[in-house]
Amino acid sequence: MGDTGRSLRGRRVAILATHGVEEVEYSQARAAAEQAGAEVHLISLDPGEIQAMNHDINPAGRHRVDRTVDQAEAADYDALVLPGGTVNPDRLRMNPAAMDFVRAFFQQDKPVAAICHGPWSLVETGIVRGRRVTSYPSLRTDITNAGGTWVDEQVVVDNGLVTSRRPRDLPAFCDKMVEEFAEGRHERRLATA
């Protein structure tokens, strides 16, 4: 990860993930936020631990859940990270409380960073409408059908929303994530409410 020269000291960052999260997308995004000084919490569907994966099929680390979505409030956090893995965001998008949590960050004009399949949550909540985003290429049709403009770029920033395509984009993703999180609130972020 590069040094953006931006501090997240005194800020709280939520990472929303569940079983099947891509290990490197979770761990590197978390490390970048923590190295910049943020307090980071793993928010998930159930208490206990979640099982991360490598490439969707190989078990990786297990990570302790700090709060469930039923216990967490977007108002308690300054920013949100949505890592990918195919299974993780597919499970999250089926949970109304998780999608309400994501939507609340946008309603409160707070920065959000999503990588790989993480933008599925943005599709599910209607957040991509009118926005320029990237993702894993297989989400292109979903994003387009949801009213977003999909582009094939390493990292895309659209008024506080940071998106990237895949794990090899993590250095650029993490740098922009920290930069946007350091900037804080981005008003008038919703194309439609």
List the beta bridge partners of residue 54. 58
User: Given the structure tokens 């990860």, which residue do they identify?
Assistant: 1
Q: Give the span between the Cα atoms of 62 and 184, in whole angstroms.
A: 30
Q: Give the span between the Cα atoms of 4 and 177, in whole angstroms.
A: 10
117 is a catalytic site residue? yes
> Residue 162 in 3-state DSSP?
strand
* β-strand pairing of 161-164 with 155-158: antiparallel
How far from each other are the two terminal CA atoms of the chain, in whole angstroms? 35
List the catalytic residue out of 19, 41, 55, 116.
Answer: 116
Task: Collect all residues with Cβ–Cβ distance below 8 Å to 168 and sequence separation of at least 6.
Answer: none
**% helix, strand, coil for the chain, step of 5:** 35, 25, 40
41 is a catalytic site residue? no
* β-strand pairing of 79-82 with 112-115: parallel
List the catalytic residue out of 41, 63, 117, 174.
Answer: 117
Contact 130, 102 (CB under 8 A): no
| Residues classed as catalytic | 116-117
